[in-house]
Amino acid sequence: MNSLLNSKSVLNTLNSVLATQPKLTALPPLSLYIHFPWCEKKCPYCDFNSHQIKDDKQGFDEERYIKALIADLETELPRIWGRQVHSIFIGGGTPSLLSAHGMNELLSAVRARVNLEPDCEITMEANPGSVETEKFAGFAKAGINRVSLGIQSFQDAQLKALGRIHNGEEAKRAIAIALQHFKSVNLDLMFGLPNQSLEAARSDIETALSFKTPHLSFYNLTLEPNTYFANFPPKLPSEDEIDAIFEQNLKLLEAAGYRRYEVSAYAKKDQECKHNLNYWRFGDYIGIGAGAHGKISFPDKITRQVRERHPETYMQAIETKGNALIEAREISAEDLPFEFMLNTLRLTDGVDTVTFGERTGLPLNVVSKGLDEASKKGLLDSNPNKLKATEQGLRYLNNLQEIFL
């Protein structure tokens, strides 16, 4: 009798475990992220994987790095065979330091190996200090159709405080050139800058709006660990002053026809960034390049990868071992809900509740306790068909996300 009871107990435990293992009925959209790790100057607030190019250009070998990227992509092909890529994002660092010839070589190699959607969005990040008309024309010819300019501010004093290599006039010139060559242009702007006033913040937004770009990103400067600013913090506006800047500029953006569709992203109608939307909807992405992260789903599991961070170590690993992975793991069923919520709750419209099951392969009841708690705290919309943060939830997003940790 005891043996029978023990057998039933084991069977019930096994069934319980199996019931919470991911079971995807369809795979999510797939994107490609390509990391370019070099920049002309490391900004004091930057915690991205970027490495300043030395004056003698030692360590920077464009041809060698592109070959490594292509070889890296080839290692991923068996994992995404038959799937279509709907967006590409080339980030950094400063990818616009690449030559137009190098960009064309890279994107031609990608097209030869991956099935791209006909209207594939291909974004490149660019520093206004490295913008040249001829070079941008070459990037457009290579296939770049969207550019994201790291403007941050139009005021010389603020740009100097942020360690940027461009000035306000160069920022304006870069935007004008980008608008001539690319289908879509995003401007990255920061607020809560050292000693920034309400009037100065308004001036930055009004200058940005005068160019009528289809997309704007509006970030609050934060002091990230392991940055110069973290060790030597500048004098920043108070929390009340930062709130006032945000509320003022949010009204200006909305009045100009920009809709806030993500915590820090604003777009004209139908001009949202496809690539970033795929991240926030818990889609899949191949990540190649130094320090790149990837997420690939299969019917019975969801996996993550991380590559070597330093460009030299990354290239050596590709050349000697055939891959540069430092981590390749399956996301546990226990961690999947938090990873999903970490992304999707950033969207102002949220997602349909059925998306949770579609993207994690888990039943919604695994997060029912967290949903109840978030709703009672006024952080989550009470609509049973939506997973959507309230205004208060967006304001205190970290608190909302931590409920699902």
Q: Which domains does the chain have, with CATH numbers?
A: 30-279 (3.20.20.70), 333-405 (1.10.10.10)
Closest by CA position to 213, among listed 153, 266, 139? 266
Provide the CA 26 distance to its chain's centre, in angstroms: 23
Q: What pTM does this model have?
A: 0.92
**How buried is 38 (Cβ within 10 angstroms: 0-12 exposed, 13-18 middle, 19+ buried)?**
buried
Residue 3: its pLDDT value, please? Answer: 46
Q: What is the pLDDT of residue 10?
A: 40
Cα distance between residue 397 and residue 388, in whole Å: 11
Q: What is the rounded distance in angstroms from the CA atom of residue 228 to the CA atom of residue 249?
A: 28
Q: Which residues of the chain have pLDDT under 50?
A: 1-19
Q: What is the DSSP string of 66-118?
A: HHHHHHHHHHHGGGSTTPEEEEEEEEES-GGGS-HHHHHHHHHHHHHHSEEEE
Give the contacts of 60 (CB within 8 A, at least 6 positions apart): 38, 53, 54
The predicted pLDDT at position 20 comes to 61
Which amino acid appears at position 344 of this protein? Answer: T
How far is it between the farthest Cα atoms of the chain? 84
Q: What pLDDT is recorded for position 56?
A: 61
Q: Name the residue type at position 62.
A: E
Amino acid at 45: Y
Sort 311 into a burial class: Cβ within 10 Å, 0-12 / 13-18 / 19+.
buried
Cα–Cα distances in Å, from 196 out to 166, 189, 190, 227, 239?
18, 13, 11, 20, 12
